[in-house]
Homo-oligomer: A and B are copies of this chain.
C-alpha cells in the first residue's frame, strides 16, 4: 500500500513547485511582488491552496532566504585553496561585496529585510548562515594565530569585519549613498576595502 508514500511525494513536489514559482517571481519582479496571489495565479491554483502546503508566507520566504545562503556559501568555498589567511580574508571581502551587489534582492532578504530573521530564533534554522559566518571566523582566527592581526578577540574582529563589508553593502542597497555620485560608489568601495585590509593587517610575522 504505497499510496501514502506517493501522497507524500506529491505533497513535496507541490511544495517545491510553490517555492520555485516564488523564487521566479522574486527574481523577476523583486521581493515586494511575491504575493501569495501572484504565486497562486502562476501555478494555476487558488490562493487558499498554498496554505495547505505552507503555514504562512514567511515559510515560503524562508525557503528563498535559505537558497540565498546556499549560493553565498558556494562562492565562499571557492576560496578553499587559498593558503595565506590574509589573502583569503581580502578575497572573501571582495567576494562578499560582489555577491551583495550582484544579488541585491537575495542579499536584502538574507541580511537586511524585516520580518525574515527576527522570528528565527528557534533552533538550527541558522545553520546555513552560521556556516558562512564560521568560514569567515576561521579565516580571521588563522590571521590572528599567524600574527597577521594583532588582536586576540576573534569574535570582535570577525564581527567588525563582517559589519564593515555588510555596512557598505547595506547602505548602497538601501539607497543611503546620496552623498556621492552613483558612478563613484564602486571605486570608493574598493578604496575602503583596500584601506581596511592594508591597515588592519600587521605584517609582523
Interface residue ranges, A against B (CB under 8 Å) = 111-114, 117-118, 120-121, 126, 129-130, 133, 149-151, 153, 155-157, 159-160, 162-168, 170-171, 174-180, 184, 188-196, 198-200, 202
Contact = CB atoms under 8 A, between A and B. Distances in A.
Question: Is chain A's binding surface mostly helix, strand, loop or mixed?
Answer: helix
Contact of A162 (B151, B167, B174): B167
A76 to B, nearest CB: 15
A167 to B, nearest CB: 3
Contact of A170 (B112, B188, B193): B112
A167 B178 contact: no
Given A192-B159, A195-B153, A199-B200, A117 B167 contact: no
A180 B195 contact: no
Contacts of A114: 174
Contact of A179 (B129, B193, B198): B129
Contact of A192 (B112, B160, B165): B160
